[in-house]
Amino acid sequence: MPLAQAWSVALVGLEGHLVEVEADIAQGLPKTTLIGLPDASLSEARDRVRAAVVNSGQKFPDRKVTIGLSPATLPKTGSHYDVAIACALLAAGGGVDNGRLRQTAMIGELGLDGRIREVRGALAMTLAASRSGFERIVVPELNAGEARLVPGIDVYGVRSLRQVLALLRGEEIPDEAPPRAEPRLMSESLTRVPEVDLDDVLGQREGRRAIEASAAGGHHIYLHGPPGSGKTMLAERLAGLMPDLSTDDSLEVSAVHSLAGLLTSDAELVVRPPFIAPHHTASLASLVGGGSGMPRPGAISCAHRGILFIDEAPEMHPLTLDTLRQPLESGFIELHRAAAVAKFPARFLLVLAANPCPCGLTGSSNGVCTCTPQMLTRYRQRISGPIKDRIDIQRQIEPAARGEADGERPESTAVVAARVKAARDRQAHRYRDTVWNINSEIPGPILRREFPLDAGSQKVLESLYSDGRLTARGFDRVARLAWTLADLAGVGQPTAELTHQAFQLRSGAPLTALSDARSVRGNSAA
Amino acid sequence: MRTKDAVGQYGEQLAAEHLAKAGFAILERNWRCELGEIDIVARDGQALVVCEVKTRRGLNYGSPLESITYRKLATLRRLLGRWLQEHEVRPAEVRIDIVAVLFPHGGVPTVDHVRGVA
């Protein structure tokens, strides 16, 4: 049969498109052409496939071979079409039954010796194949772990082209040497949530309250304070307070991580919210994603449903930091390139940390700040208004005072996480008829109309507004935070005290109402 | 005679037999002019076929078909034109075919015929 088809998957962002790989063998001098908008790494497939076919003991057709990838107008990139190309080619030459081949989706890069190497994005590709009705998919063995996370499709992890051919011919699968995992571009530890517990943090009542509220309502947070006061320590512990990801979120986060090359071969679904901490020198493309040709996800997408922690935020280039504005609002990022438009999810919790001034000594008891007023102004302006405006919680972190550190043993992560979980459950219940899940996601008009504050809370906000201490936008922000505090306290409606505390959390003022909040919680339990 | 020439001649012999069996009428063999040489000129139905024979003893340097370059094809086209000119024939169709003969050491020779490469 001089014509045969196989199937593979193209990824545009996280979205998979089925690609039909056709091979035609025609009369003519030996020549292989690859058509269907291949990029450089895909064009090289011709030579890889040729060597792999010959070195797998198969005959490469001694004729004019045309490989077509359709839809022909979709730009294709990457080396994962190799296996489908090789199989279509051999089926066209009559070596493989095409009927069976057509029912199997295939991804994998071929080595010159016929080994099958791992690829990126296998999870999203498998998902696309499954949704298009394929019941079987052939993937590199090192990607089989993540591919098996997709329900409803049989995953065959293979080590070599010989094994694929045996599979298609229904023969016994030959044994091959196990593949060697390739080194990761980004180390795995980047996504791992630091294993630290909140009970290591002595004192820091306000800081603890701030990160608890942040985790409970998904509020972005800005921690500032002198060096060594514990900003990073608190930020790392924030990750541990967040509840596990839901099944859908988990699949989505795993798919992004698969594409970014962050999943290991023995991958399980990512169930914990990821913690991504890019250095403040991070480039724009590394943060939001990008790259020429087909865009790749950046740090903000890797932090999807987790935490994006930027330490020394004012040191980051203001333009870079400002690119976070749109994803902070929409929860996704759209990257437009000549080849394609890719959309990646990017709903993350932003945690910024900063020194109070360039020398770091403002407000510190360890020395006197030597910064000039101009330096201070410039430093503070590096985080732009629009970014600051999207941050619900600001907190000055002071080094723990001696007496504070001597007190009772602080609450552990498990205790606080349980409270956060309960608060999240209350939110999920309250918003069950909407598309939103947590307080920070609720749009202002919906919040005002469907979930209004009571008269007491309203009065607190209005008096702050008339004093000029609260803007119109700040109104909604404080209301959302007040709901979060109420959810944490286990009360049905934010009280005036909680609303006032919400305002303090947002404005960065000291928390006077802390003891009141405790008493509110005590009352509701009684 | 050098070995490679003997191999070539043997290949051409096999190719001619193959073509004859396929119903080609062999008109001329090893026709030469100052442009070069045509291995076989044959008639296949209405078509006049100029046939290049390439013989190899193994695949270590690639298949015989792979050794046909664009330059070689261009030469064959010019030779075809010259042959038609000198013989003053006007066939309805002209064609260039390649016959690849693989003649492995101690093995059975195989003949691979590719029609209409140019």
pLDDT along chain B (118 residues), means of 10: 84 94 94 94 94 90 88 94 92 93 88 88
pLDDT, tens only, A424-480: 999 999 999 888 888 988 888 888 888 988 898 999 999 988 888 888 778 888 999
Interface residue ranges in chain B relative to chain A, Cβ cutoff 8 Å = 63, 65-66, 68, 73, 98, 100, 112, 114-117
pLDDT of res. A185 = 46
Range in A130-134, A400-404, B17-21, B98-102 with the lowest mean pLDDT: A400-404
Map out the domains of chain B with their CATH numbers. 3-114 (3.40.1350.10)
Using CA coordinates, name the residue in chain A closest to B116.
A28
Q: Which of A43-52, A161-170, A437-446 has the lowest mean pLDDT?
A: A437-446
Predicted pLDDT of residue A194: 62
User: CA A385: distance to chain centroid?
Assistant: 25
Residues of B in contact with A31 (CB under 8 A): none
CA nearest A64 in B: which residue?
A: B117
Task: Report the pLDDT value the prediction gives residue A69, as an integer from 0 to 100.
Answer: 95
Q: What pLDDT, on a 0 to 100 scale, did the predictor assign at position B7?
A: 87
Cα A122 to Cα A202, A254, A492, B20, B28: the distances in Å are 44, 10, 45, 55, 60
- Residue A28: closest C-alpha in chain B: B117
Query: Of all helices (H) and strands (E), which one includes residue A342?
Result: strand A341-345
The per-residue pLDDT for A522 is 39
Residue A291 is predicted with a pLDDT of 77
| pLDDT band, residue A267 (cuts 50/70/90) | low
What confidence tier does A127 reach under pLDDT thresholds 50, 70, 90?
very high
Contacts of B65 in chain A (CB under 8 A): 29-30, 62
**Burial track B36-70 (b if 16+ CB lie within 10 A, e otherwise):** eebbbbbebeebbbbbbbbbbbeeeeebbbbebee
pLDDT at A187: 43
Instruction: Looking at the complex, report in whole angstroms how far the Cα of residue B69 sits from the nearest Cα belonging to chain A.
Output: 9
pLDDT at A338: 75
Cβ of A29 within 8 Å of Cβ of B116? The answer is no
Closest-CA distance, B13 to chain A, in angstroms, reads 22
pLDDT > 80? residue A20: yes
Q: Above pLDDT 90, what percent of chain A?
A: 38
pLDDT in the model for residue A268: 67
Please give, rounded to a whole number of angstroms, the shortest distance from the CA of B74 to a CA of chain A.
Answer: 14
Question: Is residue A100's pLDDT more than 60?
Answer: yes
What is residue A151's predicted lDDT score, i.e. its pLDDT?
86
Per-residue tokens: A309 = 């922690």
Q: Across the interface, do B63 and A63 touch by the CB < 8 Å criterion?
A: no
At A325-356, the pLDDT tens digits run 889 888 899 888 877 788 899 999 999 999 88
Residue A518's pLDDT band (cuts 50, 70, 90)? very low
User: Over the stretch A29-42, which tens digit does the pLDDT of each residue have?
Assistant: 889 999 998 988 88
> Which pLDDT does position A479 carry in this prediction?
92
Inter-chain touch A29–B68, beta carbons under 8 Å:
yes
Residues in Cβ contact with A308 at an 8 Å cutoff, skipping those fewer than 6 apart: A276, A277, A278, A299, A300, A324, A348, A349, A350, A351
The runs of H, that is alpha helices, within A260-412 are 284-288, 299-302, 318-322, 325-330, 373-381, 385-389, 402-406
- Of A354, A367, A365, A353, the C-alpha closest to A401 is A365
More confident residue, A458 or A400: A458
Question: CB–CB of B80/B34 below 8 Å?
Answer: no
Residues in chain A closer than 8 A to B112 (CB atoms): 62
Mean pLDDT taken over chain A: 86
Radius of gyration of chain A (CA): 28
A29 to B114: CB separation less than 8 angstroms, yes or no: yes
Which of B72, B112, B114 to mutate to test binding with chain A, by most A CBs within 10 Å of its CB?
B114
Is a pLDDT exceeding 80 seen at residue A514?
Answer: no
Contacts of A27 in chain B (CB under 8 A): 114-117
**A29 to B117: CB separation less than 8 angstroms, yes or no:** yes
Q: Quick one: pLDDT at residue B84?
A: 94
Q: How is residue A11 written in tokens?
A: 């990824």
How far does the CA of residue B68 sit from the closest CA of chain A (Å)? 8
Q: How many CB pairs under 8 A join A and B?
A: 23
Q: A250, A52, A263: which is closest to A143 by C-alpha?
A: A263
Q: What is the reported pLDDT for B3?
A: 83
Q: What is the pLDDT of residues A234-245, one digit of tens each?
A: 988 898 899 988
8 Å CB contact of B116 and A27: yes
Residue B100 with chain A: CB contacts under 8 Å: 62
B117 contacts on A by Cβ (under 8 Å): 27-29
With a pLDDT cut of 70, the percent of chain A lying above it is: 91
CB contact under 8 A, B65 and A29: yes
Q: Report chain A's terminal Cα–Cα distance, integer Å.
A: 81
Q: Which residues contact A95 (CB under 8 A, 6 or more apart)?
A: A58, A59, A165
pLDDT of A516 reads: 44
Q: Which of A29, A55, A65 to mutate to test the interface with B (most CBs of B within 10 A)?
A: A29
Give the chain A residue nearest B99 (alpha carbons).
A29
Contact A29 B112 (CB under 8 A): no
Task: State whether A27 and B115 contact (CB < 8 Å).
Answer: yes
- Shortest CA gap B79–chain A (Å): 19
Across the interface, of B63, B115, B116, the residue whose CB is closest to A30 is: B63
Label residues A153-173 b or e (16+ Cβ within 10 Å = b).
bebbbbbbbbbbbebbeeeee
Q: Enter the ipTM.
A: 0.80
Residues of A near B (Cβ–Cβ under 8 Å) read 27-30, 62-63
Between A151 and A265, the higher pLDDT residue: A151
Residues of B in Cβ contact (< 8 Å) with A62: 63, 65-66, 100, 112
Residues of B in contact with A28 (CB under 8 A): 114, 116-117
pLDDT of A226 above 90? no
Q: Mean per-residue pLDDT for A302-324?
A: 91
What is the predicted pLDDT for the residue at A364? 67
What is the pTM for the complete model shown? Answer: 0.76
What is the phi/psi pair of residue B100, to 5°? -100, 125
pLDDT bin (cut points 50, 70, 90) of residue A284 is confident
The pLDDT of residue A206: 86
- Answer with the residue of higher pLDDT: A267 or A27: A27
Q: Is the pLDDT of residue A357 over 90?
A: no
Task: Show Cβ contacts of residue B30 under 8 Å, excluding neighbours closer than 6 positions.
Answer: B12, B37, B38, B39
Least confident of A77-86, A270-279, A511-520: A511-520
Q: Residue A82 carries which side chain, given as an amino acid letter? A: D
Confidence of residue A492 (pLDDT cuts 50, 70, 90): confident
Residue A324: which residues within 8 A CB-CB, separation 6 or more? A287, A288, A300, A308, A350, A387
Q: Stretch A147-153: mean pLDDT, rounded?
A: 89
How close, in Å, is residue A29 to chain B by CA atoms? 6
What's the confidence (pLDDT) of residue A405?
58
pLDDT on residue A186: 44
Interface with B, mutate which of A25, A55, A60, A62 (most B CBs under 10 A)? A62
A415, pLDDT greater than 60: yes
